[in-house]
């Protein structure tokens, strides 16, 4: 009986909501930094022989460094991004989205197209670093990159207005149609841009991004990609057959991390409620969902469980959130060295669950190191 009581007590402790993290180090960030970021500031994805780096990885690294108050790492990440993805000048061009080992054995840009989600996260990280660290040069660079996003990575979609394309090239397959990625549209970042910068286009992008996210998920499940046509509306993307998986998991993550006062939060939680109920019922997030039918396939990695923690909590599914947190603890994805993407999902999800950061109503970042008087 005594042993059973001890076990029950340990389980209750594991399931208890985490207290806000202390204003000290972030051990999970330090492990990620030491395993996936080289001395120059390159985030390395070891998933293929190219040992590639993406602008996405650099952008997430910048945000995590800011959350951790790790300014030296932030500076290295920014410098490497500028030198290697932007030809040495982030004031003059958007960063290339993919860099790595080429077929001839040399190293360099593998695909010069940009990725708008990474660009948006870089602008956000720079703007918030300027505010939190009182560094004007970051603010100027953020404004220039933000203007470039508006000029190069948006398009007018009849019936929707101006939308954020996934990149400058390749996402307007036919006149009057656009191929979009809902996970590229974190509303807290677009809200922040609309607050910081006077260009009305940011407010338009916020509204169109909310509409895209909602209308792309008519059955309550976010797709990886969606096609919008002026004549026909939203249609399943032919290349991915309407599936929701490794891209779409971020839609739930971004929605769950919205501030409670953000009006879009209730809209998204209501729209995506079927996913919350499905995970609560099954105990394991699906690796893939057929978004038009809700049919689930396979069990997702532990990083998916971590990514769903804010969403399940915000959805009132406390027991399901606790179950996913235990799954993360049992599978320990942060102990591995071969899973860059699962690591970043886990850092976002666990970092939020541990109270290391929040997004305010105006989209601003609220890292908990502010409690140390910063």
Q: What is the pLDDT of residue 7?
A: 37
Q: How confident is the model at residue 50 (pLDDT cuts 50, 70, 90)?
A: confident
Instruction: Please report, for the chain, the start and end positions of each structural domain, with discontinuous segments joined by +.
Output: 23-152
Average the pLDDT over each of 21-30, 55-64, 296-305 and give the range with the smallest value.
21-30
Q: What is the DSSP string of 292-346?
A: TTTEEEEEPPHHHHHHTHHHHHHTT-HHHHHHHHHHHHHH-GGG-SS-HHHHHHH
Q: How confident is the model at residue 272 (pLDDT cuts 50, 70, 90)?
A: very high
Minimal CA–CA distance to 122: which of 173, 172, 79, 169? 79
Provide the residue count of the chain.
Answer: 374
Over 60: is that where the pLDDT of 5 sits? no
- For residue 211 the two structure tokens come to 């509409």
- For residue 14 the two structure tokens come to 């594991």
Q: What is the pLDDT of residue 373?
A: 42
| Mean pLDDT, range 132-144, rounded to an integer | 98
- For residue 245 the two structure tokens come to 């998986």
Measured CA to CA, the distance from residue 41 to residue 165 in angstroms comes to 28
Over 60: is that where the pLDDT of 368 sits? yes
Measured CA to CA, the distance from residue 327 to residue 306 in angstroms comes to 9
Q: Which residues contact 232 (CB under 8 A, 6 or more apart)?
A: none
Average the pLDDT over each of 39-43, 120-124, 174-178 and give the range with the smallest value.
174-178
> Which residues participate in catalysis according to the annotation?
56, 117
Tell me the per-residue pLDDT of 217-239, one tens digit each, with 9 for 90 and over: 999 999 999 999 999 999 999 99
Three-state secondary-structure class, residue 367: strand
* Sheet of strand 286-290, all strands in order from the earlier edge strand to the far edge: 243-244, 286-290, 295-299
> How large is the C-alpha radius of gyration of the chain?
20
Hey, which bits of 8-78 come out as E strands?
53-54
Q: Which residues contact 97 (CB under 8 A, 6 or more apart)?
A: 54, 55, 56, 85, 111, 113, 114, 115, 118, 167
Over 80: is that where the pLDDT of 3 sits? no
Beta carbons of 188 and 258 less than 8 angstroms apart: yes
Neighbours of 349 (CB within 10 A): 30
**Between 132 and 49, residue with greater pLDDT:** 132
Over 60: is that where the pLDDT of 160 sits? yes
Q: What is the mean pLDDT of the chain?
A: 92
Measured CA to CA, the distance from residue 310 to residue 325 in angstroms comes to 11
What pTM value is reported for the model?
Answer: 0.93
Beta carbons of 344 and 250 less than 8 angstroms apart: no
Q: 23-152, which class in CATH?
A: mainly alpha
Three-state secondary-structure class, residue 233: strand
């Amino acid at each position: 009986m005594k042993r059973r009581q001890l076990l029950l007590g340990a389980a209750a402790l594991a399931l208890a909501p985490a207290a806000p993290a202390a204003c000290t180090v972030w051990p999970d960030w330090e492990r990620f930094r030491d395993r996936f970021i080289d001395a120059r500031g390159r985030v390395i994805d070891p998933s293929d022989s190219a040992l590639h780096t993406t602008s996405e990885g650099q952008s997430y690294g910048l945000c995590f460094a800011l959350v951790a108050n790790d300014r030296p790492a932030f500076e290295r990440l920014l410098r490497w991004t500028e030198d290697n993805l932007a030809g040495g000048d982030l004031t003059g061009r958007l960063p290339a989205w993919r860099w790595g080992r080429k077929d001839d054995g040399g190293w360099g840009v593998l695909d010069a197209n940009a990725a708008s989600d990474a660009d948006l996260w870089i602008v956000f990280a720079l703007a918030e670093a300027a505010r939190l660290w009182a560094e004007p040069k970051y603010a100027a660079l953020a404004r220039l990159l933000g203007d470039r996003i508006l000029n190069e990575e948006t398009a007018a979609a009849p019936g929707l207005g101006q939308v954020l394309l996934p990149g400058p090239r390749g996402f307007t397959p036919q006149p009057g149609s656009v191929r979009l990625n809902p996970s590229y549209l974190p509303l807290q970042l677009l809200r922040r841009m609309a607050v910081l910068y006077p260009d009305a286009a940011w407010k338009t992008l916020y509204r169109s991004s909310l509409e895209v996210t909602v209308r792309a998920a008519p059955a309550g499940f976010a797709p990886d990609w969606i096609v919008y046509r002026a004549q026909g509306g939203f249609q399943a993307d032919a290349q991915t057959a309407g599936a929701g998986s490794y891209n779409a998991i971020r839609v739930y993550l971004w929605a769950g991390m919205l501030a409670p006062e953000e009006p879009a939060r209730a809209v998204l939680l209501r729209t995506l409620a079927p996913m919350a109920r499905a995970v609560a019922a099954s105990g394991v997030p699906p690796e893939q969902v057929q978004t038009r039918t809700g049919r689930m396939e396979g069990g997702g990695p532990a990083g998916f469980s971590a990514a769903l923690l804010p969403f399940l909590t915000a959805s009132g599914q406390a027991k399901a959130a606790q179950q996913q947190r235990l799954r993360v603890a049992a599978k320990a994805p942060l102990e591995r060295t071969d899973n860059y993407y699962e690591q970043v999902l886990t850092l976002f999800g666990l970092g939020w669950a541990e109270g290391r950061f929040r997004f305010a109503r105006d989209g601003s970042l609220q890292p908990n190191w502010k409690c140390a008087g910063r």
